[in-house]
Each structure stands twice: as structure tokens, then as C-alpha cells.
Amino acid sequence: MSDDHVYLTLAEGHEDDTRWAYGTGFEDPLHGVHTTVPDDVDAAELAALCVALGDDALVSAQRLGEWVTRAPELEEEVALANIGLDLLGQARLLYSRAGQTDGTGRDEDAYAYFRDAAGFRNVRLAELPNGDFAFTIVRLLVLSSWRLAHFERLASHPDPVLSAIAAKGAKELRYHRQYAAEWAVRLGDGTDESHRRMRRAQEQVAPYLGELFTAFDVRQEVVADLKQVTDAAGLPMPVYRPLPGCGREGEHTEHLAPLLAELQGIARAHPEATW
Amino acid sequence: MVTTLLDARRARHIAAQVPDPELPMLTLADLGVLRDVETTEDGTVVASLTPTYSGCPAMAEMRADVAARLRAAGYPRVEIRTVLDPPWSSDWITPAGRAKLAEHGIAPPGPAPRGGPVALVLSPTRHAVACPRCGSADTEETSRFAATSCKALWRCRACAEPFEYVKEI
């Protein structure tokens, strides 16, 4: 076995279906899972929910991955990349479930690589550029607390596949929320400069908080988390500032299209290629 | 019937011996990801696996390894199923698996939190993790995320060695 190139080494001596964590054309992550939609579940609504939650996760994972080689310390780079990997895994499961239930039979790659910005249903907060570390932490805190509250409720969804994805994801999201909360306290209660940056980040997320609480109301749980963190960090509670548009309806900021261009470029240039 | 039972037991034994691609000192059975192995009436071996984390990049490798080992052991028809419910818990790592982790310098996990919503806790929670090298309890976490999804990085203040720790989940 050659170890000149890590990807070659991983690919060497394997059948096509045994590649690791890179490329396209993976085996379905729901392989062998019972896929029937229960009678009391509206399949189209279920698919739309899976796409929205999958898009939040994929776009967040892409932003978190951008920190690799740029994070303040190696430990934070590893943490942000790990959080992104969990979210990418959740996105794969959710897209696969969407493809089984929206009548198209699409695979996860079709959702990730072959939809344009207007087809994405993620909340706009997820697509904003990373900014500084303070912004990344404030956003991660809000999004992980919100997603966790969602997933804890969805764990009792009547669709057994979505409920299993949510129950599993909730365990991971607790670690994400904990990481962001501890950094928020450290930075808010840190130096004058770190406090100032946290305040600025809170201002920057303010216009994007409203759309988190439109359809599936978990405001109470999120407010409880944010209150606990801001009290310990010596920060004010974030304010909501209304902004027209809604990512859940495909109305995005100018930042999503360039993110997707980077994410989708190779898959679209070589649609038949696997790597 | 007796043959089928023996066959199922042998198939289970073979699948249980497959090493985990990321923690190769553990078998898939030690790690608790091999949920079930059964044989159907037509002789198909059905092995059920569960991922540790949603983003576990080794799932495809595990599926392929289990299928290849079973085929090599004389079972031409093998089906691998993914089981998501209930989600994997670090509590499922067997006592033998925990002993092997410690032997290889990786601290095994404590008990995982029970089901249902878990509130955010900001006060420092000191749980004692013994250093797998020198046994000292004078240890500290350096990063909650490490080389694989399931591990955190810790450091021993007594012997000054860093070590990995399998997180409770």
C-alpha cells in the first residue's frame, strides 16, 4: 500500500462502493432502511421539511469547513470541522429521505449539487459569510440551539425515518450547542476587544433571527438557552430586527450563490464523474 | 433447522470479528455498531449495522468489510441493513471493548445521558477521567473534538501525556 497520497491510499484496493469521506456517488446512507411513509403522514410536506433541514445543515457544514486552515488554533479548527461533519451526515440522511418521499426518487447528490440558490430552503443566517470567530460562534450558538430544539420535537414525528434521524442528530447537536455556548461566555466575558466583537456579531445576526421562528415555533427553548449564555457572558439578549424575505421560500442573500458555486462546481463541470 | 441455527451463529461470529476501520483495536461487536445478524430461509445472511455519528465516514467501509468477510466465509447471499433507531450510544461499547480501548491509551466513556431533552449546563462539570497511561485522576480536557467524531482530547497533569477519550453520547 502506497502512502504517497492519502486519497489514493484510501481508494486503493477497494471496490467502487467502499470509498471514504470524499467525492460523489456514495452509497445511499439509508441503505436497507424501511422506507414506507406512514398513512397519516403527508409525503410532500415530509419531503419539504427534510429538504429545509437538510439545506440548513449542508450550507452550515460548508461555512464551517471554510474555517479549516484559518481557525485561531488547531483545536478550534478540529472542532469546527467535526461539527460540520456531523451536519453533513445529517444533510445526507435528510436528502435521502426527501428523495424517497417527494416522488422524484432523487439521490442525495441531486439535492446537494444540482439545485440553484433559488431552490435552496435554508434559513439565511446559515449562508452569511463566516466573518470573524465571534460571528461564527454567535451564529453557531443560535443555529445549534434552534436546530436542537427542533430535533428534540421531531424525535416524536410520525415518520419513523425522520424521527430516527432527529433523535440521532439531537445527541450531536448537544455537543455543538455546548461548544458554542462555552466560547460565547469566554469571549463575552473576556477582554474589551472580544466583548466588543461579540456585541458586533449579535448586531449582525439580529436581522436574521425572525425567520427562525416562523413555521415551527421553538422560540421558548432557544430563548432559555440564549438567556443563560448571555447572562453568564455579560452580554445583552439579542434583539430581532425584521428583514423582508425568507430563506425557507427560496429568497436568499447574495452570499448563497457563490457558496454553492464553490460547493457544486466540480460536480456540475463533470456530471458523470465520481471521485 | 439445526443447521440454520448453527449457520446463523457462525455468521454472527464472523461478522462480529470485523475490526472497526477507525478504531481497529475494536471489533464492530465491541463498538456496539453490529446490531443483529440473522439468516433467512433462503440462506441469505442479513447483518444490521448502525452508525456511531450521522457523519461517520466509515459506514460504507464497514458495510463492505462485513459483506466481504461473510462472502469469503462461504455465504454467497449477504444483505447489509442500516439501523438508525435507536441511535447508537457509547453505552453499547462492551466491557471487552472498553478494556481494549484503555489498553491502547484511549480512555473509555462514562455513562451517557439518558433520553429526552438535555438542558444546557454552563457550570464546569468535573467528571473524573483516569489517565489510561498512569491511572492518575488529575486530568483535563483540551478539546471536546478530536481526530474522529467519537473522541475528545485530554491531557494528564501527572504524567503530562495527552490522550484520547471516547465521548459519552
The answer to whether residue A25 sits within a structural domain is no
For residue B5, the SS3 value is helix
For chain B, which domains are there?
Answer: 2-88 (3.30.300.130), 106-166 (no CATH)
CB contact under 8 A, A89 and B88: no
pLDDT value of residue B154: 93
Residue pair A97/A108 in contact (Cβ under 8 Å)? The answer is no
Task: Name chain A contacts of B154, Cβ cutoff 8 Å.
Answer: none
In a domain, A27, yes or no: no
What's phi and psi for B152, nearest 5 deg?
-120, 165
Q: Name the residue of chain A whose CA is nearest to B124's CA.
A: A182
Q: Is residue A142 part of a domain?
A: yes
Name the pTM for this structure.
0.90
Structural domain count of chain A:
1
Inter-chain residue contact B87 with A171, CB threshold 8 Å? yes
Q: Considering only the beta carbons, identify the residue of B57, B88, B144 that sits closest to A21.
A: B57
How many contacts (CB atoms, under 8 Å) link A and B?
Answer: 116
**Does residue A68 lie in a domain region?**
yes
Residues of chain A in contact with residue B69, where contact means CB-CB under 8 angstroms, are: none
User: HEC states along chain A?
Assistant: CCCCCHHHHHHCCCCHHHCCCCCCCCCCCCCCCCCCCCCCCCHHHHHHHHHHHHHHHHHHHHHHHCCCCCCCCHHHHHHHHHHHHHHHHHHHHHHHHHHHHCCCCCCHHHHHHCCCHHHCCCCHHHHCCCCCHHHHHHHHHHHHHHHHHHHHHHCCCCCHHHHHHHHHHHHHHHHHHHHHHHHHHHHHCCCHHHHHHHHHHHHHHHHHCHHHHCCCCCHHHHHHHHHHHHHHHCCCCCCCCCCCCCHHHCCCCCCHHHHHHHHHHHHHHCCCCCC
* C-alpha to C-alpha distance for B140 and B129, rounded to whole angstroms: 8
* Bridging pattern class, strands B162-166 and B106-107: parallel
The answer to the question of residue A196 being in a domain is yes
Can you list the residues of chain B whose pLDDT is less than 50? 1
Task: Show residues of chain B in contact with A92, CB under 8 Å.
Answer: 54-55
| Full residue range of the structural domain in which residue A139 is found | 42-269
pLDDT digits (tens, 9 = 90+) for B64-103: 999 999 999 999 999 999 999 999 999 999 999 999 999 9
Q: Could A33 and B167 be called an inter-chain contact, meaning their C-beta atoms sit closer than 8 Å? A: no
Is A174 inside any structural domain?
yes
The closest CB to that of B81, out of A18, A32, A82, belongs to A32
A11 lies in some domain = no
In whole angstroms, how far apart are CA B141 and each of B154, B155, B164? Answer: 4, 6, 9
Question: What is the ipTM for the molecules in this complex?
Answer: 0.89
CA distances from A15 to A27, A249, A251 (A): 12, 41, 42
Task: Report the residue of chain A nearest B47, measured CA to CA.
Answer: A32
Neighbours of A259 (CB within 10 A): 22
Q: Which residues of chain A have pLDDT under 50?
A: 1-14, 16-22
Closest CA to A79 of B168, B56, B146, B55: B146
- Output the domain CATH number for residue A72: 1.20.1260.10
The enclosing H or E element of B64 equals helix B59-72
Q: Say if A35 falls within a structural domain.
A: no
Euclidean distance between CA atoms A244 and A216, whole angstroms: 19
Answer whether B24's CB lies under 8 Å from B33's CB.
no
